[in-house]
Amino acid sequence: MAGSRKKKRSSTGKGSILLISSLLVGSAALRLGVGAGTAVAEGDLANQLLLPKAMSETEDAPQPAQKVEVGSLLDALIARENRIAEKEKKLKVRAKALDVAQVEIERRLDALKQAEERLGATLARAETAAEDDLARLTTVYENMKPKDAAALFETMEPEFAAGFLARMRPDVAAKIMSGLDPQVAYSISAIFAGRNALAPKS
């Protein structure tokens, strides 16, 4: 009876020790797992916080090749701006030259117009003077004796004589024509007829 009690006590004590040992081992494992998980989590969090900054710094930092490309582009833009400025300068000079030429052309056109007006006035005066001279000379021939006028008209070219006779009064012209040589009178009559034939009918 006493032996069976001893066996029960030793089996109970071993079970309790085993249980406590298991609990301690589990607690230690749990702590290790939680600590390792926290450390891993903290490491991941730190990497997540630092990685974008590092990546952004890497992306933002201009590389030497990028610096060369930006410099070349800037040089090209500056060169293009200089070419445009030079073209604008040339265009301004050309526009100024065209303005000066336009003013000179207008001045010359005005001078030419004035000269043309003066020439027209001179020609008008000359024509009027010539007409006046012809009218006076015709009056002189009309007041001459028909015989003397006929002798003078025979020495003229037929066209010239016909011009004066056409200006005279018909009765005076008839007397002068009757005193002319028949051949001269015929030539003057043919000129009169030709002028009338060329005259408009209506």
**Tens of pLDDT along 136-156?**
988 998 999 999 999 999 998
| CA dihedral of residues 163, 166, 167, 168 (deg, nearest 10) | 120
> Long-range contacts for 143-146 (Cβ within 8 Å, ≥24 apart)?
146/172, 146/175, 146/176, 146/178, 146/179
Helix 158-167 / helix 182-198 crossing angle, nearest 10 deg? 70
**Tens of pLDDT along 75-132?**
888 889 999 999 999 999 999 989 989 999 999 999 889 888 888 888 888 778 778 8
Tell me if residue 61 falls in helix, strand or coil.
coil
Query: What is the DSSP-derived secondary structure letter of residue 48?
Result: H
